[in-house]
Structure 1
Amino acid sequence: MTRLRIDLAYDGGGFYGWATQPHIRTVQGTIEAALHKLLRVPEHDPDEPLRLVVAGRTDTGVHASHQVCHLDIDESTLERAVGHMKVPAVTALEHRLQRLLPTDIAIHRVSVAPDGFDARFSALERTYVYRIADRASEVDPRLRGCVLHIDDTLDLDAMNRAAAMTLGLHDFGSFATPNPGGTTIREVKRATWTRVPSRPLVPARDDVATHGTGDVATIGYVTPTLESGLVCFTIVADAFARNMVRSLVNACVAVGIGKRDLDWFAGKMAVPKREGSTGPIAPQGLTLEHVAYPPDDKLASRAEAIRAVRTLP
């Protein structure tokens, strides 16, 4: 049996989250169906399930620019990917899988995983970014699928003071739902709100063209990057519980528009109890950006340690 590491990205707008569900389009279900077709393995085959294990399950409508999963596969099954291609089986699988998948999923790389690698349990941390266009931003309709538009000007100073309360090891029960048998205790390593500066993609021109009469025919202009002016929340943690990031964003936004104050946010952190005012914000602004892993010789020990149920000191 060979364990493969698959690095990928997807536009979550057309999926009901990562995890496979009957008769519903999900990222996992779409990729697994493609694997079964490509490798000529009947679906629900108990001897070769072709089941993906992911670093972090994303909810309905949430995107990933860099997700990681692993797949355990029999070597003889993997060889079926080669066909008439004169390349190694793993390379053939990567190329064929990318061509077979829909355009809202992209395979970055398929590789043989090092010993001890587990996409979920070996991960050291995950990085998510939530993007908002507020009243102080120029709304670009091309980004409507990955940016939330709100008709308020956000107070980033107040939002950063709220976000600072999340740093460290806490029970995020006010903002998340535990998995069966799990907890909402997580360690947040970074949580910051920033406004992306206006960075020119095409710089202003120094030259001015004329037609001999002194009349200006063209003048310099600046084309900003797509993210210029957006408000971004970047959060890094060892792991995230269900709805945790979107619920924290919603609470910070409530503070940023003056609907709630910092004492209210502090109370939610102090008493980890879920209730209506700390529900998740809309999903389209959220993207999983990065998953970090330790050196290869630490993968197995990391996976073993993280499987233990966490408690607060």
Structure 2
Amino acid sequence: MRLRMGVAYDGTGFSGWAVQPDRRSVAGVLGEALGRLFREYDGLTVAGRTDAGVHATGQVCHVDVPDDAWVRVASARGAAAPDPTVAVRRLAGVLPPDVRVHAVTPVDPRFDARFSAFRRRYEYRITDDPAGPTPLRRYDTLGWPRTLDTAAMADAARGLLGEHDFAAYCRRKDNATTIRELQRLDVVRGDVITVSVAADAFCQAMVRSLVGALLAVGEGRRTVPWPGGLLTRTERASEVTVAPAHGLSLVGVDYPTDPAEWAARDAATRRRRDET
């Protein structure tokens, strides 16, 4: 039985998603909870690994569990059939308060949380209010000490849209491509400044680096064309500052609605990455 899970977490107390020796991770905590409930599981796969301190409201992962374990965990006493809501409630009972599984759905085994996705969406929250972030949002909003020109930031963002080699904005990994299709990069001022970012996929530190470049434009240290001009680089640009992790949240992952398209999307994504 393959289960798709919607996951949210406050990244403050975690060293990122991935399991690391002697460090608290989201995958480690979630895996422990799954083991307690299902006793055995396989293939905990996530849509996008987040770095230390990064939050999520719309993370997606999948896991395979034995059929009989699913029936046991998801069935209320006297119920005729498993109820995913029961599984959500039981996971809440064994998870710490900074992680929540808000949805559990049995899915076709062709679904892959990572490779079936066609878009990841992030938001980065900033305030340039002299008082800093409000106390209840201090863990997910960056306080910036200087006034930001959001119109200039928005103009600069438009120069980064499309498919490019984002090597200047990525921490390079061996045998990994830095070519990405940036589908959205909006800067909007409301109660706070929100940078909304969407792409087919992101390489490590890419979103925070894009935000760092826009901040440099917003406070006048760099010109509007500067962030787009860095797309000619083939290596990480040392002058780009990586914005702090705590302002960033993964807010959604999008998939084809037709299960028949999952396998096709999976194959296309794997092939493109293998070719690079």
Give 1:300's match in structure 2, choosing from 243, 258, 263: 263
Report the CA distance between 1:106 and its aligned residue. Answer: 1.5
Report the CA distance between 1:267 and its aligned residue. Answer: 2.7
From the superposition, tell whether residues 145 and 298 of structure 1 become closer, same or farther in structure 2 (CA, over 3 Å). same
- C-alpha separation in 2, matches of 1:237 and 1:137: 33
Q: For residue 5 of structure 1, give the secondary structure of its aligned residue in structure 2.
A: strand
Deviation track 1:43-92 (CA, whole Å, cap 9, x = no partner) reads: xxxxx5x3310011111111111110000122233344258734444634
- C-alpha separation in 2, matches of 1:89 and 1:178: 44
**What is the match of residue 11 of structure 2?**
12
**What is the match of residue 116 of structure 1?**
110
Question: Which amino acid is the alignment partner of residue 69 of structure 2?
Answer: T
2:269 corresponds to 1:277? no
**What is the match of residue 204 of structure 1?**
none
From the superposition, tell whether residues 86 and 103 of structure 1 become closer, same or farther in structure 2 (CA, over 3 Å). farther
From the superposition, tell whether residues 311 and 35 of structure 1 become closer, same or farther in structure 2 (CA, over 3 Å). closer
Report the CA distance between 1:271 and its aligned residue. Answer: 1.4
**What is the match of residue 62 of structure 1?**
54
Q: For residue 176 of structure 2, give the secondary structure of its aligned residue in structure 1.
A: coil
- C-alpha separation in 2, matches of 1:114 and 1:28: 22
**What is the match of residue 189 of structure 1?**
183
- Normalised to the residue count of structure 1, the TM-score between the two structures is 0.81
Report the CA distance between 1:253 and its aligned residue. Answer: 0.2
**What is the match of residue 251 of structure 2?**
289
Report the CA distance between 1:35 and its aligned residue. Answer: 1.1
Report the CA distance between 1:39 and its aligned residue. Answer: 2.4
Identical residues among aligned pairs (%): 40
Question: Which amino acid is the alignment partner of residue 32 of structure 2?
Answer: A
Report the CA distance between 1:24 and its aligned residue. Answer: 0.9
Question: Which amino acid is the alignment partner of residue 40 of structure 1?
Answer: R
**What is the match of residue 74 of structure 1?**
66
Report the CA distance between 1:283 and its aligned residue. Answer: 0.6
**What is the match of residue 39 of structure 1?**
38
Which ranges of structure 1 fall in alignment gaps of 5 or more residues?
Answer: 42-47, 197-227
Greater gyration radius = 1
**What is the match of residue 255 of structure 1?**
217
Report the CA distance between 1:141 and its aligned residue. Answer: 1.9
From the superposition, tell whether residues 186 and 20 of structure 1 become closer, same or farther in structure 2 (CA, over 3 Å). same
- C-alpha separation in 2, matches of 1:143 and 1:280: 21
Which ranges of structure 2 fall in alignment gaps of 5 or more residues?
Answer: none
**What is the match of residue 309 of structure 1?**
272
Higher helix residue share: 2
2:193 corresponds to 1:231? yes
Deviation track 1:6-46 (CA, whole Å, cap 9, x = no partner) reads: 011111111111111122111110000111122234xxxxx
- Maintained 8 Å contact 1:8/1:65: yes
